[in-house]
Structure 1
Amino acid sequence: MTTTTRDALRERLDKATADLDPPFAIVDLAAFDANARALTRRAAGKPLRVASKSVRSRALLERALATPGWQGVMSYTLAEAIWLVRSGMTHDALVAYPTADRAALRELATDPGLAASVTLMVDGPEQLDLVDAVAAPGHRAELRVCLDIDGSWRPLGLHIGVRRSPLHTAAAVGKVAREIATRRGFRLVGLMAYDAQIAGLGDAPPRETLRGLAIRLMQHRSYRDLLHRRRAALAAAREHADVEFFNSGGTGSVAATAADPAVTEVTAGSGLYGPALFDAYRAWRPEPAAFFALAVVRRPANDYVTVSGGGWIASGQTHASRQPLPWLPAGLRLLGPEGAGEVQTPLRGPAAGELRVGDRVWFRHAKAGELCEHVNELHLVDGAEVVETVPTYRGEGRAFL
Structure 2
Amino acid sequence: MVDLTGSSKARLQKRLDRATAHLETPIAAVDLAAFDDNAAELVERASGKPLRVASKSVRCRTLLERVLARPGWHGVMAYTLREAVWLVREGVTDDVLVAYPTVDRTAIRELTSDPKLAGAISIMVDHPAHLDLIDQVTSPGKRPDVRLCLDLDSSWKPGPLHVGVRRSPVHSAAQAAVLARRLVARPGFRLVGMMSYEAQIAGVGDLLPNAVRSRVIQVMQQNSLTELIRRRADAVAAVRQYADLEFVNGGGTGSVAATSADPAVTEVTAGSGLYGPTLFDAYRAWRPTPAAFFALSVVRRPAPRIATVLGGGWIASGPAEKSRQPSPYLPAGLRFKPDEGAGEVQTPLLGPVADTLRPGDRVWFRHAKAGELCEHVNELQLVDGESAAPAPTYRGEGHAFLG
By the TM > 0.5 criterion, same fold? yes
Distance of 1:316 and 1:130 partners within structure 2 = 29
Superposition pairs of residues 1-400 of structure 1, within 5 angstroms: 1-205=4-208, 207-386=209-388, 388-400=389-401
Give distance in 2, aligned partners of 1:5 and 1:269.
25
Determine the C-alpha separation between the residues in 2 that align with 1:351 and 1:136. Answer: 65
Aligned residues: percent identity? 66
Helix, strand or coil at the partner of 2:372:
helix
Q: In structure 1, list runs of 5 or more residues that go unmatched.
A: none
Deviation at 1:5, TM superposition (A): 1.4
State the SS of the aligned residue for 2:22. coil
Deviates more, 1:130-139 or 1:178-187: 130-139
User: 1:312 deviation in Å?
Assistant: 0.5
Structure 1 letter corresponding to 2:241 = E
C-alpha distance in 1, partners of 2:353/2:262? Answer: 46
Q: 2: CA distance between counterparts of 1:15 and 1:104?
A: 43
Distance 2:185 2:288 in 1: 45
Structure 2 residue identity aligned to 1:55:
V
SS of the counterpart of 1:336?
Answer: coil
Q: Aligned partner of 2:104: which letter?
A: D
Report the 3-state secondary structure (helix = DSSP H, G, I; strand = E; otherwise coil) of the residue aligned with 1:296. strand
CA-atom RMSD, angstroms? 0.6
Count of paired positions: 399
The one-letter code sitting in structure 2 at the alignment partner of 1:22 is T
Query: 1:98 corresponds to which letter in structure 2?
Result: P
Gaps (5+ residues) in structure 2? Answer: none
Runs of at least 4 residues of structure 1 off by over 4 A? none
Distance 1:227 1:319 in 2: 32
Q: TM-score, normalised by structure 2?
A: 0.98
Provide the C-alpha distance between the structure 2 equivalents of 1:174 and 1:34, rounded to a whole number of angstroms: 41
Q: Give the secondary-structure state (helix, strand or coil) at the position aligned to 2:142.
A: coil
- Name the CA distance, whole Å, in 2 between partners of 1:249 and 1:353: 44
Provide TM-score, normalisation by structure 1: 0.99
d(CA) in 2 for partners of 1:400 and 1:129?
23
2:119, 2:225 → 1: CA distance?
33
Mapped partners of 1:176, 1:156: distance in 2: 24
Q: CA deviation at 1:3?
A: 2.0
| Separation of aligned partners in 2, 1:328 and 1:65 | 30
Inter-partner Cα distance in structure 1 for 2:15 and 2:391: 20
